Copies of this chain bind each other. A is one copy, B any other.
Amino acid sequence: MREFHVIDRIRRSQGALPRWVLAGPGDDAAVLAPGGGGGGKARLLVTVDAMVEGVHFDAGALPPAAIGRRCAAAALSDIAAMGGEARWAVVSCGVPRRGRWTEGRLLELTRGIEEGLARWGAALVGGNLASSAAFFVSMTVGGSCAGAPMLRSGARPGDLVAVTGELGGAALGLELLRAGRRRHPLARRHAAPEARIEEGRRARPHASACIDVSDGFLQDLAHLLEESGVGAVVEAERLPLPSPLPRGRRFAPGRVLHAALAGGEDYELLLTVPPARRRAVEKAFGRGGVVPLAFVGEITGRRGVLKVVDKNGRDVRVPRRYGWDHFAHASPPLRGGGAKRRGG
Q: Which A residues fall within an 8 A CB radius of B?
A: 1, 3, 5-7, 9-10, 13-15, 17-18, 21, 24-25, 29-30, 32, 34-52, 54-56, 87-88, 90-92, 94-95, 97, 102-103, 106-107, 110-111, 114, 123-134, 136, 138, 140, 142-144, 326-327, 340-344
Contacts and interface: CB of A to CB of B under 8 A. Distances in A.
Contacts of A123: 17-18, 21, 24
B36 A39 contact: no
Nearest to A142: B37
22 contacts: A1-B97, A13-B111, A14-B124, A17-B123, A24-B124, A29-B126, A36-B88, A37-B87, A38-B45, A38-B142, A39-B41, A47-B90, A47-B126, A48-B127, A48-B140, A49-B92, A50-B128, A51-B130, A94-B136, A131-B327, A132-B136, A133-B134
Contact of A30 (B1, B34, B125): B125
Given A17-B123, A37-B142, A52 B94 contact: yes
Contacts of A94: 50, 52, 94, 134, 136, 138
Contact of A21 (B38, B88, B344): B88
A126 B24 contact: yes
Given A17-B125, A24-B124, A44-B44, 7 more contacts: A25-B124, A25-B126, A48-B138, A50-B128, A50-B130, A52-B132, A134-B134
Contacts of A127: 7, 10, 25, 48, 342, 344
Contacts of A5: 103
A201 B150 CA distance: 36
Nearest to A43: B38
Contacts of A90: 30, 46-48, 140, 344
Contacts of A38: 32, 37-40, 42-45, 87, 142-144
Nearest to A3: B129
Given A131-B55, A136-B136, A48 B92 contact: yes
